[in-house]
Structure 1
Amino acid sequence: MKATAKAHPIQGLVKYHGMRDEELRLPYHDSISVCTAPSHTKTTVEFDPDLDADTFVVGGEELADHEADRVSNVLARVRELADADHAQFPVRLESENSFPSNVGLGSSSSGFAAAAMALAEAADLGLSRPAVSTIARRGSSSAARAVTGGFSDLHAGLNDEDCRSERLDSPLEDDLRIVAGLVPAYKETEAAHREAADSHMFEARLAHIHDQLAEMRDALRAGDFHRVFETAEHDSLSLAATTMTGPAGWVYWKPETLEIFDAVRDLREEEDVPVYFSTDTGASVYVNTTEAHADRVEATVAEHADETMVWEVGGPAEILDESEALF
């Protein structure tokens, strides 16, 4: 009745934007990402008959309103699938991140992935990771890819058989280094997703996104670093164009964000360093390079970011030993 799970956050490579179904969080098109480690979320859950109600605590603070509703959506699906009587008991859930939240570094992906994995284990569901990804998706579409880990592809669809994540094998897993340049500016992703289709750029994005997805899958399988991360860099710019031209005119980037972009391009063009930038919905920047160039790239990014972290490719969500439980 109790379980603890760990999941790594994702960096979007070909990102989804907007949802055709907000309750089931079904995206308009496929999306591809890579998990970043050792950054992670750890979550412990317990079905407890002595509790009066479900409680969700993240980073020491109890969730309420919309954030609590998103966790409840994940929990409701677990209860719907469960045969075990104890899965109907109230739940205590506690979660902690090892990295900054709400700054564009994927905390919702690892958070809901760890929650779904722990809840599925505690409820004795016995599901594969692609199946668990359909549960995590009800909290955040990106969380589906954090469940399967590594380079993963979330397929679009109108049901759980089609809209689930699968792992993509790539020779790039061992050599990739991700320098995260922290630019601490709070961001709101949910509102941007809700108004995505209202941007005049949205149809243009849909028109070319399938070519980007095909290019990304082929480049990942071939282990072509430059093609993979040039595509990811272009996709970041496309996503920002769509976000900034929605009704609210969301602009996530800060001056430091643009400074990192320029510094990355200088390294690439003047020093022939294999390096590309990428952003999700936030001001922080992912800078993708290889192991041999990670120190040089980090030193450059550190000149413009509040903090830097060097990450590798993270694996799938996993169940931890009971000795690692948060309570």
Structure 2
Amino acid sequence: MITEKDFIPAQYGASLARGTFTWSAPSNIALVKYWGKKPGQIPANPSVSFTLNHCKTITSLAFEKKTSGGHSFDLLFEGQPKEDFKPKIQKFFARIDAYLPFLKDYHFTIDTRNTFPHSSGIASSASGMAALAMNLMQLERALNPEMTDDYFYRKASFLARLGSGSACRSIRGEVVVWGNHADTDGSSDLFGVPFPGTLHENFRNYQDTILLVDKGEKQVSSTVGHELMHGHPYATQRFAQAHENLTHMSRVLESGNLDEFIKIAESEALTLHAMMMTSMPYFILMKPNTLEIINRIWKFRRETNIPVCFTLDAGANVHVLYPENDIAAVLQFIRNELVGYCQNGQYICDTIGFGAEKL
């Protein structure tokens, strides 16, 4: 069994004075949701997600050896200094310091941008932390050229998790499982693993059109929401349900049963928001337009038998999921009936991707 200690390196065999790396990492959308966590960014239940393709963060990491101690970095967002992002990076560096002992030896310039609109309501913490973790692992690999690919990606996921829990699902694979799960070989609370089964062709190039219902800041952050699962009256049942749904979803992803996929994905989305509405204090992140879109998707599916469904993150936006061969009909439906419920008529077309990429 892999533990945190396995990610603490021995002495490095090489040295590097300066350089620059650039990696992209995508966002992801959970099908079985993780909600609630234990200390150390450990999930209270396992989850599985589709890795996205177009919604990604591109991060360049420039580094130069220095003589003074302590963490030292400049942070740029789209080429401009971004001071309000720095505390999160400082916290991240403090968390991963034991696993990357070279951190205090360099001054870093982190230059990052998103391919999706800033403040669009799409969570950028997963893609952002994943892209940064990939760059840091590229530097460690330069200091330790003997590193295997498996270790490289596993540790990148481990590090990304310490920045943002769901970031560990943005490293490698079309479908990624995170969290100990009895029926998933190799699963771990410490990092995400590519789905070990064979993904059915029905899910190849699966589509995710993201309807931007509300681009404002959420009144309750995901961090606070996770904490409210401590002492939640339905927490125990919810965590058990997630384990069962992950077992069922894994079978569905291999069998290609779209009807069962829809049932689990939509139930999981609504359960996530039910946990918010039954916590203390309680809160609602869905908006009236979120519900209008859901009802129209249900009506469209009943009338056409097209296997289109929705899922939700911890927010108001709606992810519309559907097979590649239904693109024309579903996009026409979105333009005709759903765009009016999006803020400024905005939506983003995405598809399943494969994870982080060195540029």
Same fold (TM > 0.5): yes
Distance of 2:211 and 2:53 partners within structure 1: 15
SS class of match (2:52): strand
TM-score, normalised to structure 1, is 0.87
Shift of the 46–94 alpha-carbon distance from structure 1 to 2, 3 Å rule, reads same
Task: Return the letter of the residue paired with 1:100.
Answer: P
Q: Does 1:129 align with 2:148?
A: no
Q: Name the stretch that deviates more: 115-124 or 194-203.
A: 194-203
User: Which aligned segments of 4 or more residues in structure 1 are displaced greater than 4 angstroms?
Assistant: 76-79, 101-104
Residue equivalent to 1:40: 56
* Unmatched segments (≥5 aa) in structure 2: 1-18, 182-186
Residue equivalent to 1:20: 38
Q: Does 1:89 align with 2:120?
A: no
Q: Name the stretch that deviates more: 271-280 or 90-99.
A: 90-99
Residue equivalent to 1:315: 354
Given the alignment, which residue of 34, 38, 62 partners 2:82? Answer: 62
Larger Rg: 2
Shift of the 278–104 alpha-carbon distance from structure 1 to 2, 3 Å rule, reads farther
Q: Tell me the number of residue pairs that the alignment of Structure 1 and Structure 2 aligns.
A: 313
Distance of 2:113 and 2:243 partners within structure 1: 36
Q: Does 1:75 align with 2:93?
A: yes
* Unmatched segments (≥5 aa) in structure 1: 321-327
**Correspondences of 1:1-327 after superposition (within 5 Å):** 1-21=19-39, 24-49=40-65, 53-59=72-78, 60-64=80-84, 68-76=86-94, 79-82=97-100, 88-101=105-118, 103-124=120-141, 126=147, 127-156=151-180, 162-168=189-195, 169-171=198-200, 172-183=202-213, 184-187=215-218, 188-299=221-332, 300=334, 301-305=338-342, 306-320=345-359
Deviation, structure 1 residue 279: 0.2
SS class of match (1:39): strand
Identity %: 25
Residues 36 and 45 of structure 2 are in contact (CA less than 8 Å); yes or no, is this contact kept in structure 1? Answer: no
Aligned Cα root-mean-square deviation (Å)? 2.4
Q: Deviations over 1:111-137 (max 9, x none)?
A: 111010011112336443122100000
SS class of match (2:155): helix
Distance of 1:213 and 1:225 partners within structure 2: 15
Q: Deviations over 1:250-288 (max 9, x none)?
A: 211111111110111011111111111100101110011
Shift of the 167–102 alpha-carbon distance from structure 1 to 2, 3 Å rule, reads farther
